[in-house]
Structure 1
């Protein structure tokens, strides 16, 4: 259950102000089918994070056992510092919008997650914890906790959440997970 809670909290906080949250805001402004957007986010996140978690679990098998806590811990700390850098809204891939809310969300969300902080965090969390299922569920729930409210109340919500506070909270969480990974040696 540690894997689920850590994964949920880490991704939910890291996602605030992230480019995928900005993408959710864009999609909610473009399409009226909020449930299709949310389902698209869920499908894209499950696929992306399952692949990421599998990669993290595979990768940790090739790292010498005494190096793993250091690599994982320093990776958490690096992601924590990376979270402090605000994301910019990338150019919109308007070509896929013609396929409707669900397909457009699936495609754009999957692409936006490639190399994103939350994808890297998923790789690290899967390397840290032995239970892929709970890491995938946790990161997916964290992603949904951060994006579902934006799909429904986007502009209003984004004005109410202090992004600097969210970034610093995520930084502290990731650095804390990193230190705990190293100390647990």
Structure 2
């Protein structure tokens, strides 16, 4: 249960103001079809979290306990840096001509591959007795953070507190990285 909650909360915080969240909001506004957009996003999230669980399971089989703790600290540090770093411009996918489901699926897969949430799920799966629980927690956290982007798509981009929420999340991830990193040493 700890793995589920920790991964869910970590990925939820990591996705606040993330490019994936903003892409989903943009696609909902552009297509006026939130159902297929959210379904495509959800499918991309399941694929991403499944891949993360497989990688995390592999790491668990080849790395010892303290090294896994250090890997988790590095994943948290990466999340902190990504949240504190200025957000890159979002590709609006204007040239992509396809059905809304496929547009969201492929766009989100591209954005999520190598993203901070993926590393958080990998680290959670590597340290868990049941790695799929980390994947489930990650998928729930990512979806929970993105649902408001679907519901409030027209207003999310200009929402000023996103900057401060990202800053607070980055500081929280940095503090957790230091605590876990010191514990691994």
TM-score (norm 1): 0.87
4+ runs deviating over 6 angstroms: none
Tell me the distance in 2 between the aligned counterparts of 1:79 and 1:59.
19
CA deviations over 1:95-151 (Å, ceiling 9, x no partner): 43x321111111111111111121222222222323222211111111111111111
**Cα drift, residue 39 of structure 1:** 1.0
Gaps of 5+ in 1: none
**Cα drift, residue 70 of structure 1:** 2.2
**Cα drift, residue 85 of structure 1:** 1.1
Q: 1:102-181 residue pairs with structure 2 within 5 A?
A: 102-160=101-159, 162-178=161-177, 179-180=179-180
Name 2:13's counterpart in structure 1.
13
The number of residue pairs the alignment matches comes to: 184
Name 2:61's counterpart in structure 1.
61
Gaps of 5+ in 2: none
Tell me the distance in 2 between the aligned counterparts of 1:123 and 1:176.
19
Tell me the distance in 2 between the aligned counterparts of 1:135 and 1:173.
20
Task: Assess if the C-alpha contact under 8 Å between 2:17 and 2:163 holds in 1.
Answer: no
